[in-house]
Amino acid sequence: MSFKIVRLDILLVFFASFVTLLISSFVLKGVKLRQIPTVEASLEAVRVSTEKGTPLFFDTGWTGANFWGHSSGLTTLAFVPSTLELLKVISKEAGSLGVRIITGTTNAVYAMMSQDYMEAGFGLSGHPERFNLDDINFYPDNTGLVMSGVEKIHRFNIGAAVMVGGHNQTSNIVLYEALATTGAMLVAGEIWPNDNSMAALCADYLSFAEENIAIGAYLSEDPVPKAILAGEDIIKAFLIGVITIGGVLFYLGVI
Amino acid sequence: MQQENETMTQLILGNLPTIVGVIGMFIIASLYFMDPGWSFAVTLRNSVTLSLPWPTAIVSVLLIRRHVRNIIKKESTLPYDTIVVGSAVLMILLGFTGGIADATYKTLYANINIIGTMAVISAISISIFSPMIRIYRAKTWTMALLIGLSILAFMTYSPIGQMIHPAIPQAGDFVQIYISGASDSAFWISTYIGAVALVTRMILLKEKMRPS
């Protein structure tokens, strides 16, 4: 069997993007970035939970290795490092303030990785004994996640929630609605646009998919990840330019 | 030189989950550009995901353990815990004895799944209305815009808009095709650029698959 290269155009764009980001990691080192509100708001959610005396609901939904052969499925993989890093930072704050974190996912591997990151976060807070393994939930499917999530929100009278991840079939709206009934502060960032639209209607703080992927780099003290983030803007500016010029040329009948 | 070797070994071993992940992503991404390639990528996917029953089983046992403990301690959630443990044990026993193709297993699973799915879909339908009503108390211009668009969409895809004026569904279609369509594309393009940047950071070992 012989292999041949296809989609050379996409390969070239991918390679050019990769090279641009690599160069950015050197050239743009030390660049200042604007804050991602979700990160600050997530820590605020921990403090709100402290004031209300309730656990924090940290739900990532479908985030994990949900690879069903479509690019949007693969995108959930990109959320894994960032959401876990956020979980670690939240756990550190929660450990210091004595707040429980109730978390859950439909991915078994992600559930086990959550244990590592939560343990690390509570360890960094100086209170590793406050980590509770039973607060990490695994749901076999989306239906189980939603039903169990609603039950937990009401049982614990959840006062604040961070829902950064993927909640398919707009099931996030059910959890948002349950959180609204308990008067919870809601920080949200969803993978899919339709879910993000729902979040925009309900959440106190909202971040878009790309911002969520950047959380890991934003939380890092290392200047290289931040330089790569800034490099994304060069690619975006180039693409906007291509679209604008292409539109004008198309309008003029040149292409 | 010895020190350098040790450092490199530590670097590789310390980042083994990330390195394995990057290699896996590289193989899958490379197969996308090959013909034939996608079938190999799916085979690779299957060979990895078929190992998922083990972590699934481990996590399931941990969850059942929690509910068993609640039953022993006679917590207030006793009826719920009893149902969870009872149904889990029943399904596991049926699965082990007759396999997932067993008629009883399939019937029970299908019924529970249908009931659960119906409950969630109903909840979604009800919940969608609620934020639309609550949103009238929204205080930002962004939310005000969303209210307007939600009402426009509602009137576009129900007979009400057409009954009021034919221009209403036309305006709704315009928003859906041009504004929403362009926004959706921009959303995904930025996400994919972000994903490429993430992969770049992972290759440079700046994003890790284990806590540091």
A169 in contact with B, Cβ within 8 Å = yes
Question: For the residues of chain B, what is the DSSP string, one character each?
Answer: -HHHHHHHHHHHHHTHHHHHHHHHHHHHHHHHTEES-HHHHHHHHHHHHTTTHHHHHHHHHHHHHHHHHHHHTT-TTHHHHHHHHHHHHHHHHHHHHH-TT-HHHHHHHHHHHHHHHHHHHHHHHHHHHHHHHHGGG--SHHHHHHHHHHHHHHHHSSHHHHHH-THHHHHHHHIIIIIIHHHHHHHHHHHHHHHHHHHHHHHTT-S-SS--
pLDDT at B163: 93
Cβ pair B193:A210 closer than 8 A? yes
Q: A14 — contact with chain B (CB < 8 Å)?
A: yes
B33-89 pLDDT per residue, tens = 888 887 888 787 777 766 677 877 888 888 888 889 999 999 888 998 999 899 889
Instruction: Name the more confident of A2 and B162.
Output: B162
Number of neighbours of residue A158 by Cβ within 10 angstroms: 26
Yes or no, beta carbons of B35 and A111 under 8 Å apart: no
Q: Is the pLDDT of residue B135 over 80?
A: no
Lowest mean pLDDT among A69-78, A233-242, B103-112, B117-126: A69-78
Judged by a CB distance cut-off of 8 A, whether residue A233 touches chain B is: no
In DSSP notation, chain A reads ---EE--HHHHHHHHHHHHHHHHHHHHTTT------HHHHHHHHHHHHHHHHT--EEEEEET-SS--SSSHHHHHHHHHHHHHHHHHHHHHHHHHHHT--EEEEES-HHHHHHHHHHHHHHHHHTT-GGG--GGGEEE-SSHHHHHHHHHHHHHHTT--EEEEEEB-GGGTHHHHHHHHHHTT-EEEEEESSHHHHHHHHHH-SEEE-HHHHHTHHHHH-S-HHHHHHHHHHHHHHHHHHHHHHHHHHHHHHT--
pLDDT of residue A18: 93
A184 has pLDDT over 80:
yes
- The amino acid occupying position B120 is V
The mean of the pLDDT values for chain B is: 84
| Domain boundaries defined on chain A | 11-33+225-245, 37-213
Within 8 A of B202 by CB-CB distance, chain A residues are 81
Residue B105 C-alpha, separation from nearest chain A C-alpha, in angstroms: 16
Find the range with the poorest average confidence among A31-45, A46-60, A196-210, B185-199: A196-210
pLDDT tens-digit readout, A221-236: 899 999 999 999 999 9
Please name the member of B120, B143, B183 whose beta carbon is closest to the beta carbon of A146.
B120
Look at B209 and A229 and tell me if their CB atoms are within 8 Å: no
State pLDDT tens for residues A34-93. 888 888 999 999 999 999 999 999 998 877 655 555 555 667 777 888 889 999 999 999
Look up the CATH number of domain A37-213. Answer: 3.40.50
Asked if A228 is an interface residue toward chain B (Cβ–Cβ < 8 A), one would say yes
> Which tokens go with A17?
């993007």
pTM listed for this prediction: 0.85
Q: Is the ipTM of this complex over 0.85?
A: yes
Residue carrying the six token digits 């996640």? A145
pLDDT tens figures, A2-35: 778 888 888 898 899 999 999 999 999 999 888 8
**A7, A111, A232 member nearest B193 (Cβ):** A232
**B194 with A196: Cβ contact below 8 A:** no
Give the nearest partner residue to B127 out of A80, A174, A222, using CB atoms: A174
- Cβ-nearest to B131 among A67, A120, A173: A173
The pLDDT score that the predictor gives to residue B60 is 83
A232 to B197: CB separation less than 8 angstroms, yes or no:
yes
pLDDT of B1: 46
**Pairing of the two strands A205-207 and A185-190:** parallel
Partner B contacted by A37 (CB < 8 A): no
Residue A189 has pLDDT above 50, yes or no: yes
pLDDT for residue A125? 96
